[in-house]
Structure 1
Amino acid sequence: MAATCCARLSKWYMITTNLLFACLGLAFIAFGVIGNKSGFKGATLFPDGVFKQVAILGAIIGVASIIGILGAFVKRKWILYIYMLIVIVALVYQVVIGVKIYQKGANPPAYVAPLWSQAKDSYRASLQNEFSCCGYNNAMDQPAVTEKCDPKSGHISSDPPCYDALKNYVDTAFGRFYIVLFAALAVEVLALTNAITVLCTRSIYREEDEEERARRRKSGIRLDDMSADTPTTVGSHNNYNTADMNNYYGNQHGAYKESSNAYSHDSYDAYNQQNAYQTQGRYY
C-alpha cells in the first residue's frame, strides 16, 4: 500500500512539476520574442542573439515539459530517459546564456564603451532618444545628430551624457536577468530529481503488480490473506486467519485420536470376549 501511494504521489508530482516547467518555457519564449523586436527599453543593449537563444531555450523547456507529462501516464522508461536528456540539455544551455550575460554585466563600462564607439549613428541616435541623453561622456563625445542633440550646429542639448544612463541600465537589467536565469535552474534540477524518483518507484513496485493488487481489491480479496500460510486461492475469500485455522485443524486431530483410541479399546474387549467363549467350549 505504501508503494502504491508513493507511485501515485510521484505521478502527480511529475505532472505538477512539468506544468511549472511549461510556464517557465512560455515565459522565456515571450521574453525572447519581445526582446528580439525591441519591445522594451534597453533591449538593443543586450548582446546579439541572446533573445533568440532565450526563445530557443523556452522551446526546449516546453518540449521537455510535454514529454514529462506524457511520461507520467505512459509507463515506459525510455520516455523518462529522453525527458531527462532534454532537461540536461536545457540546463546546460541555460547556464551558457547566464554566464554570457554575467560576463557582459560584470563590467558595464568595458561593455558599453566599445558598443558605443563601434556603433552606427542610427544606433547611437536610438539610444539617445530612448535614454534622453546626448553623446557618451559629454555632448561632444561621439554624439549622434538628432533634434535634441546637434552640437555641431551650435545647439547644445540639455540632456545629460549617455554614459551614466547606459552603465546603470546594464548593471541593473543584466544583473536581474542572469539572477533569474540561475534561479530558474532549480526548476530543471527539480524536474531531474522527480524523473529519477519516478524511475526508482517503478523499478521497486512495477505497474503490473499495482494493477493486479487493484484487481484483487475489486474482487473483495484481502491482500494480507494472499500468503503462503493461508489455504485460499485467487478466486475465493478467506474469512479466517491463520490462528483460527490452526485451532480448527488441531481440534480435528484431537477428535481423530480419541476416536482411534476408542476403536482400539472396543477391539481389545471383543478379542477378550472371543477368547472366553473358546475356553468355555473346551470345558463342554
Structure 2
Amino acid sequence: MPTKLMMVFVGMDLLFAACGGLLLGFSLISEQSMRNTPTVNNVTQNLLLGQCPLTAGVVNAIFVFVTFLLSLPALFLPTNRGWLRAQGWLVVVCATYTLGLGLAIWVETLETRRHLSAIWGRESPLIQSLLQQKFDCCGYVNSTSPPFVQDTTCPNTLVAAQKGGCIGKFASFSNKYLDQIFTAAFGIVGVDVILVLCVAMVLKYRMEQERYKHIDEKNGSGAS
C-alpha cells in the first residue's frame, strides 16, 4: 500500500512532466506561429516571441523529460536511493535552467521601450503598418519620429498627428504579454522546488526504513 508521501511524490513527479510538456508545447507552437503570415491579430505576439529563448525552452523541456524518465526506477524500486539522488540533482538543474529563461524574459521587460524601438526600426513598412492598425496609432514615438507608414489607419499627416505614436500602447501590451510568460516560467520553478523537497523527504523516509530494518535484523539475530 503506497504511503501518502509516495502519492504526493508521484503526483508532483507527474506535474513536473506536465510542465515539461507545457514548455515544449509553448516553444513549438510559438515557433510555428512566427512562421505564419503576419496579420493584425498575430503581429505583436510574433514580434515579442521572437525575443524569447524558444530554442532554449525546447532544450529545457527535453531535460525535464529525461529527468522524469530517470525517476521511474526510483518509483518501482522502493528501497533504492541512488536514482532518487540523481533525480533530485537533475530537477535542480532543470529548475535553474527554467529560472534563467524566466529571468531573461523579465530583464526584457525592464528595458521594454528601448528594445521595442530597435524592433520597430528594423521591421518592414508592412509590419509597421500592421502595428499601427493594431494599436490605432501612427509612427513609433509620434507621426514624424520615425515617420508613420501611410495606410488605412494613418491616411494622411493630419490624422497621423492627431492619433499620436504607438510607443505607449505597444509597450503596455508587450509588458503584459511578457509578464504572463515569465510568471509561468517562475511557476514551473515553484513546481520544481516542491518536487526537490518531495525527493528529499522520500530519501529521508527510505533511509529511516533501512535503519529500522537493520535494527530489526540485529534484534532478530540476537534473539536467536
TM-score normalised by the chain length of structure 2: 0.75
Per the alignment, residue 204 of structure 1 pairs with 208
Per the alignment, residue 53 of structure 1 pairs with 56
Which ranges in structure 1 are unaligned for 5 or more consecutive residues? 214-225, 234-284
Aligned-residue identity in percent: 18
Which ranges in structure 2 are unaligned for 5 or more consecutive residues? 35-41
Superimposed CA distance per residue, residues 40-60 of structure 1 (whole angstroms, 9 cap, x where no aligned partner): 552322453522222332332
Please say if residues 18 and 69 of structure 1, whose CA atoms lie closer than 8 Å, have aligned partners that are also in contact.
Answer: no
Query: Over aligned residues, Cα RMSD in angstroms?
Result: 3.4
Distance 1:120 1:86 in 2: 44
Distance 1:96 1:174 in 2: 15
Instruction: Indicate the structure whose relative CO is greater, using CA pairs within 8 Å and at least 6 residues apart.
Output: 2
SS where residue 33 of structure 2 aligns? coil
Q: What amino acid does structure 1 have at the position aligned with 2:117?
A: A
Per the alignment, residue 193 of structure 2 pairs with 189
Distance 1:128 1:150 in 2: 8
Whether 2:96 is the aligned partner of 1:92: answer yes
SS where residue 61 of structure 2 aligns? helix
Distance 1:208 1:121 in 2: 74
Distance 2:8 2:200 in 1: 12
Distance 2:153 2:213 in 1: 78
1:147 Cα deviation after fit:
3.7
Per the alignment, residue 32 of structure 2 pairs with 37
Distance 2:137 2:65 in 1: 40
Please say if residues 108 and 171 of structure 1, whose CA atoms lie closer than 8 Å, have aligned partners that are also in contact.
Answer: yes
Please say if residues 64 and 87 of structure 1, whose CA atoms lie closer than 8 Å, have aligned partners that are also in contact.
Answer: yes
Please say if residues 134 and 161 of structure 1, whose CA atoms lie closer than 8 Å, have aligned partners that are also in contact.
Answer: yes
SS where residue 92 of structure 2 aligns? helix
Q: 1:108 to 1:99 in 2, by over 3 A?
A: same
Distance 1:150 1:172 in 2: 26
Q: What amino acid does structure 2 have at the position aligned with 1:57?
A: N
Q: Which has the larger radius of gyration?
A: 1
Please say if residues 67 and 91 of structure 2, whose CA atoms lie closer than 8 Å, have aligned partners that are also in contact.
Answer: yes
Superimposed CA distance per residue, residues 225-257 of structure 1 (whole angstroms, 9 cap, x where no aligned partner): x7966xxx8xxxxxxxxxxxxxxxxxxxxxxxx
Q: 1:126 to 1:66 in 2, by over 3 A?
A: farther
Q: 1:14 to 1:160 in 2, by over 3 A?
A: same
1:160 Cα deviation after fit:
5.1
Superimposed CA distance per residue, residues 63-97 of structure 1 (whole angstroms, 9 cap, x where no aligned partner): 32333344211343332233122211111111111
Q: What amino acid does structure 2 have at the position aligned with 1:141?
A: S
Matches within 5 A, 1:100-179: 100-143=104-147, 145=149, 147-148=151-152, 156=159, 161-179=165-183
Please say if residues 139 and 149 of structure 2, whose CA atoms lie closer than 8 Å, have aligned partners that are also in contact.
Answer: no
Whether 2:68 is the aligned partner of 1:65: answer yes
Aligned residues: 211
2:11 pairs with one of 11, 16, 23: 16
Please say if residues 14 and 68 of structure 1, whose CA atoms lie closer than 8 Å, have aligned partners that are also in contact.
Answer: no
TM-score normalised by the chain length of structure 1: 0.61
